Amino acid sequence: MRMYAIAKIFQVITYWPIYLTLKFFVHFKIEGQENLKGLEDKAIIFASNHASYIDGPICAASMPREGFYPKRFFPIRFLALDKYFRYRYLLVALYVWINGSIKISRTGGDLRKSLMNAIDALNNNACVWIYPEGRMTRDGNLQPGKRGVAFLHQETGAPIVPVGIIGNYGILSFGTLLRKNKLKVRVGKPIYSLGNLSFEKGTDIVMNRIAELLIL
């Protein structure tokens, strides 16, 4: 609970600096926030493409506000590999800790063991953000998804909200400093059920919804 509170305070405090910086340098736009109505204070699995080291702050800045105050969906619990919590990545480890990130590990296909902490968070009505590709894209294209997103949904019953981030690939470039790049986040309609599909086929549905949101 203490970590939950720290993460919420951190994300709320950094919301406006991040939002305004993105607005100034990359003409930040958000579409589809209305699709989150009715999901306030409930467990949600956000699932998006992953093409930049700053996708986490971008995603947090895309959440809706109540007037001036962005509070209803915070803290967002981003999934991060356990290696980023180690001392060798000191600054990254400090960030993922204070940001309330959830540690996951590669366990050779044991999804329950790998995602146990994420399951616990969702069962306590947390908002969890997963990058189903499993790693950051190297060429800007959407990669095939891993089974984890469908597994989390089947285990917890939490709806999946697909999100497409357009313009995040190469955002840490000189063009951004010159205000030449543009960034857009599209929030899709929630997926409330994947039926009795296999994790692989369920994940394909999620990835197809993300792909549709990335179409210009």
Q: For 187, phi and psi rounded to 5 degrees? A: -95, 120
Asked whether 80 and 102 are in contact (CB, 8 A), the reply is: yes
Domain 2-213 top-level CATH class: alpha beta
Interval 3-30: pLDDT, tens: 788 999 999 999 999 999 999 999 999 9
Interval 69-104: pLDDT, tens: 887 899 999 999 888 888 777 888 899 999 999 999
Q: Which of 22, 28, 211, 14 is nearest to 132 (CA)?
A: 211
Rg (CA), the chain: 16
Helices (H), 62-126: 90-98, 111-114, 116-123
- Where do the domains of the chain lie? 2-213
Instruction: Look up residue 194 and give its amino acid.
Output: L
pTM of the model: 0.94
Is residue 2 very low, low, confident or very high in pLDDT (cuts 50, 70, 90)?
Answer: confident
Is residue 1 very low, low, confident or very high in pLDDT (cuts 50, 70, 90)?
Answer: low
Give the 3-state secondary structure of residue 32: coil
